[in-house]
Amino acid sequence: MILTVAIYLNDAPESRALDLSIAQFRKAVTFDVMVPAGEFWGEMYQLREMVFEQLTVDAPEQEWARRYRAAGNRSFAIGDAVNVGQQTWIVTPSGWYEVFPREFIPMVPAAQRLWWMTPLLSGQPQMITHVGPTAVAPAETNMAPLLIGGAARVGKTTLARRLVQQCPSELVHLDHLLHALKTVAAQQTLNALRKAPSINTNTPHQWLSELRERDRALWAAAREHVNAARGEPIIVEGGLWPDWLPELEQDHTAIFIVDTGDSADRLVDIAEANPQSWMAQRKWSEEKIRRWASYNRFRSEMIADLAAAHDYPVFDVAGGIELVQDRALNHLIDHVIGKGNQMSNEPPDSNPMTWNHPIKGLITGHVVWQDDTWAKIKLVGDHKLRYGARRNRGRVDEDGAVLTLRRSRLHPVSTGEPSTPQ
């Protein structure tokens, strides 16, 4: 589990966060935090020790807040954590802030110059004691390019922004890139980028075909952008398609978010309740909103099928956007930022294994990491594997390269240790 330790310096631009494992967190309570020169008292701060006391109370949080703010009442010290029913609150100079695992606490007032808080483990405040001044640096992420694709209005952008909070990266919104390319593209590409097929005059198949033509032109630019950022953390979010991603010239991670449920009622309610929503601003009728929802579901089903064929995880928000988005975020944190990038320190088996992959062909190497779904295979010898994209058909994966593959598609062709994917 990764613990986010949030460090707040006045406002959002000065906020800092460290992602620490539980073991690292228990080893250090004070951290040295670098901030721009001239900010507050200097360049370096050392956070003072704080003790979070667990106190169980029955009164509602508003009553405790009123008591705390009452003149002369100091029942709780600043920094105390207080359980109120199923919620936990942190005492601050101006009131209370609710705490959720993996979420940042809302920004404290500017009047509080320096503040340190931590999320909870299993919903319980942690006793914190000083164990020494040694700072613990966050682990290197070494993150491969990450791509978040899927249908429209399924929470891709929100997920990408939440992920950037956990792992600072360059964030590329393909919608923004689309607007930029329209100003510089040559005529043929410009015609493709300007496509905005109507749901009123096109069948679902025609509509999706034109969308793919537009997205294909956009993908050509996004692909080169990702390849140019080799070695740098980058997150791309937008209208991506699973069958194009193998064109990337490097190992990458991708997920797709879709909505295969009947979202028409939800979209109609949003348009009625929020005049600033994009459908309300376009003054769409209820009939058009429902028609668009059916087209978007068709798009979702196509993306989900392609993602399954190319071994990319799919998250379907038909079960609720917030719940599924949390699952997707935890998946990315666990598999990309957290343990997914940590190779095993154990020496590999002396004899490599060989698997038959239904798309890529024969793969020989060692398992360096795996979970219930995925495995990372470190190749032994150069491999000329099969890729769907034409530009990658002459590609050679060199000895020592690491591939991330779905375990269910790795079929052993020789005996090996029980730890290898089955």
| Per-residue confidence (pLDDT) for residue 142, from 0 to 100 | 54
| Cα(90)–Cα(64) distance, integer angstroms | 11
**Segment 263-312, tens digit of pLDDT:** 888 889 888 888 888 888 888 999 999 999 999 999 999 999 999 888 89
| Cα(309)–Cα(328) distance, integer angstroms | 19
CB 165 within 8 A of CB 258: no
| Cα(402)–Cα(189) distance, integer angstroms | 35
| Cα(301)–Cα(309) distance, integer angstroms | 12
| Per-residue confidence (pLDDT) for residue 314, from 0 to 100 | 92
| Cα(254)–Cα(246) distance, integer angstroms | 10
| Per-residue confidence (pLDDT) for residue 295, from 0 to 100 | 95
| Per-residue confidence (pLDDT) for residue 351, from 0 to 100 | 79
| Per-residue confidence (pLDDT) for residue 118, from 0 to 100 | 32
The number of beta carbons lying within 10 Å of the beta carbon of residue 195 is 14
| Per-residue confidence (pLDDT) for residue 336, from 0 to 100 | 64
146-337 classified as CATH 3.30.379.10: no
Provide the pairing of β-strand 402-406 with 374-379: antiparallel
* Ranges under pLDDT 70 in the chain: 1-143, 166, 180, 183-184, 334-350, 371-372, 387-393, 414-422
Q: Report residue 318 as tokens.
A: 């038909």
Sign of the CA dihedral with 357 first, then 360, 362, and 366 last: negative
| Per-residue confidence (pLDDT) for residue 398, from 0 to 100 | 82
DSSP 8-class letter at 337: I
| Cα(55)–Cα(258) distance, integer angstroms | 43
**Segment 122-142, tens digit of pLDDT:** 233 332 222 222 222 233 445
**What are the sequence ranges of the domains in the chain?**
2-117, 146-337, 353-412
